[in-house]
Structure 1
Amino acid sequence: MTGTALLALLSIGTIAGAHFLSKARWTWRAPRIGIALWQALGLSWGIATIGALLGLALLPYGKGIFGGMPGMFGDQAGRLGTAHVAALLAAISLAAVLLTMLGYAVVRVVRARSRHRALLALVSRSDSAVPRGTLVLDHPGAAAYCVPGVRSSKVVVSAGTLELLDPAELAAVLAHERAHARERHDLVLLPFASLRQVFPQIRLVGRCLDAVELLIEMAADDRARRHRSPRELATALLRFAAARPAAAPSGTLGVAHTGHMPVMARVNRLLEPEPVSRSTRFAAMVAVPIIAGVPLLLYALPH
């Protein structure tokens, strides 16, 4: 029973951790560490929740999850009572739903990108004002986004963006979009987007996705300012916010959030960076493998 109880407590603990992390601001100073913490929390929640249900189902065998599975298959679940069977079905159902929705999210994004790439082939053009490989859309509105891909990624800007930004600001925006492509931030978002599809009515899930989206934008900002002046990107973000750009197409990653607060948060950290303390960085880096790995260790603990 000890392992099952610990897994249940860990499941609840990850929910509480997500609540506090969604409100944390120190992660803005180290967005990559914040992203890693979010990934560890999400993975830990799934493994711990499914594990707690499996542990409850396998209690009659008294050998934990890894030890109880062979016994259950050996006697064809003969020791399981009604409550144990219900727990087993709940564990299988939850795992199936999470994996199915993740697969559905992947398929949906791939299809959306494929359609958008086909559209870009028809309506986009090259332009001497942007580096080779960057596509330009003849649209008066402000738009800049990345279409990630396995073999190649596309960076797209609108004609309105070319008029809105000066060359230095445009270069900073393009560096930001290339950062999204290199670090494959689209893959970071997929599990959280699929989780929101599973639990659309739970506000915490929406806050988690919003927090991760903001952190990947900040991570791309950090990579862009390795090559461009932070002020160039900051002024570009402000110009985009004032121009009220439309949302980026489905399956893509845009340069600016439509919300006022996220844009100003990014601008402020670009102009006045505050590095995270070594102790906080070390503690977070140690916490990531612990949070992600402990549930699996509890699977092997005799219950």
Structure 2
Amino acid sequence: MTGTALLALISLGSVGGAHLLSRARWTWRMPRIGIALWQAIGLCWGVATIGALLGLALLPYRKGVLGGLPGLYGDQGARLNAMQVTALLGAIGLAAVLLVMLMFAIVRVVRARRRHRALLALVSRSDSSMPGTLVLDHPGAAAYCVPGVRSSKVVVSAGTLELLDRGELAAVLAHERAHARERHDLVLLPFASLRQVFPQFHLVGRCLDAVELLIEMAADDRARHGRPPRELATALLRFAAARPAAAPSGTLGVATHGDIPVMARVNRLLEPQPLSRRLRFAAAVAIPVIAGLPLLLLVLPH
């Protein structure tokens, strides 16, 4: 009973932690740690919630969650009352919905990218001055990457080539290559699928927005290595003023919508504020603890 209660408390605590983290600004100073924290909290919530429901259903066996599962196949299964059967069905249903929606999100993104790659093959052109980059003959501002397992495509529009100078363009291309190299699209998939599962909860949408912003900041950090940060900052401001259209489905663009995210990225590029060692160490320790504690409670008998 103690382990089940702890799993329930951890599940509720992860929701509260997500609420606080969605409003936090210190993560902007170390976006990769912030992304890892979000992943740990997401894993913690899923494991703890499913584990608490399973623990409630398997209370009669007094062997914990994993230890009690074999009892469902024996004669002891008849000992489950209505509440415990409901908890068992809830755990199975939640796990199934999360997995199915994640697979659905993966299939949808793969199909969208396949269609967009086929379209790019028809309407884009290569530029010898930008190896590995495709150019769209479109007057609007656009710059995005199409991630892939074997090859990723970085796409810019003719309007972008006119909008940015050489240094700004190089910074934008480095930003997009960072998205592709670090596979930020895979980071977003679980959060995007979670929003599909719980569209009515505004917290889930805020979580996705926070992760998207941290991903952009992480790519910004990678892009400014070896070049003046002002180049990417001015490129972001030019993109914001040009009001680019949203990046195609399944891709990652250089500019996010809204003035606040853009200004937050520009300010941290021009006036970086490194995270203190103490806070960085605390966050680094918290990540495995948050992710691992519910998994440990699943294994331990209670």
Q: Classify the TM-score, shorter chain.
A: over 0.9
Per the alignment, residue 176 of structure 2 pairs with 177
CA–CA distance in structure 1, aligned partners of residues 36 and 7 of structure 2? 21
Displacement of 1:72 in angstroms is 2.0
SS in 1 for 2:77: coil
1:37-52 aligned at under 5 Å gives the runs: 37-52=37-52
1:292, CA displacement in angstroms?
0.4
For residues 223-281 of structure 1, give each alpha carbon's deviation from its aligned partner in whole angstroms, at most 9, with x where no partner exists. Answer: 00113210000000000000000000000000011110000000000000000000000
The Cα offsets for residues 157-203 of structure 1, whole Å up to 9 and x where unpaired, read as: 00000000001100000000000000000000000000000000100
SS at match of 1:155: strand
CA separation in 2, counterparts of 1:19 and 1:7? 19
Task: Output the TM-score relative to the length of structure 2.
Answer: 0.99
Q: Partner of 1:224 in structure 2?
A: 223
Alignment of 1:13-92 (within 5 A): 13-75=13-75, 77-92=77-92
CA RMSD in angstroms, aligned pairs only:
0.8
Counterpart mapping for 1:1-303 below 5 A: 1-75=1-75, 77-128=77-128, 130-303=129-302
Which is further off, 101-110 or 222-231? 222-231
Q: Which residue identity is paired with 2:114? A: S
**In structure 2, distance between residues paired with 1:27 and 1:133:** 32
Uncovered stretches (5+) of structure 1, i.e. residues with no partner: none
Q: Distance in 2 between matches of 1:46 and 1:276?
A: 29
SS of equivalent to 1:77: helix
> Which stretch shifts more, 246-255 or 58-67?
58-67
Matched residue type, 1:272: E
- For the residues of structure 1 that align with 2:127 and 2:162, how far apart are their CA atoms? 13
Count of paired positions: 302
TM, length-normalised to structure 1: 0.98
**Identical pairs, percent:** 82
Tell me the SS of whatever aligns to 2:144.
Answer: strand
- The AA in structure 2 aligned to 1:183 is E
1:79 CA drift (Å): 1.3
Q: What secondary structure sits across from 1:156 in the alignment?
A: strand
Cα distance between partner residues in 2 of 1:112 and 1:76: 48
Give distance in 2, aligned partners of 1:75 and 1:143: 63
Amino acid at match of 1:201: Q
What residue identity is the alignment partner of 1:150?
A: V
In structure 2, stretches of 5+ residues that fail to align are none
Deviation at 1:50, TM superposition (A): 0.1
Listed one character per residue, the Cα deviations across residues 124-174 of structure 1 (whole Å, up to 9, x for unaligned) are: 00124x411100000000000000000000000000000000011000000
Within 1, Cα distance between the matches of 2:301 and 2:89? 21
| Amino acid across the alignment from 2:169 | L
* Residues 171 and 228 in structure 1, CA contact (< 8 A), matched pair in contact too: no
Tell me the amino acid that sits aligned with residue 39 of structure 1: Q
SS at match of 2:40: helix
How many Å separate the matches in 2 of 1:286 and 1:70? 34
Does the 8 Å CA contact 1:60/1:80 hold for their aligned counterparts? yes
The whole-number CA distance in structure 1 between the counterparts of 2:135 and 2:279 is 42
| Distance across 1 between alignment mates of 2:226 and 2:58 | 55
Q: CA deviation at 1:76?
A: 6.0
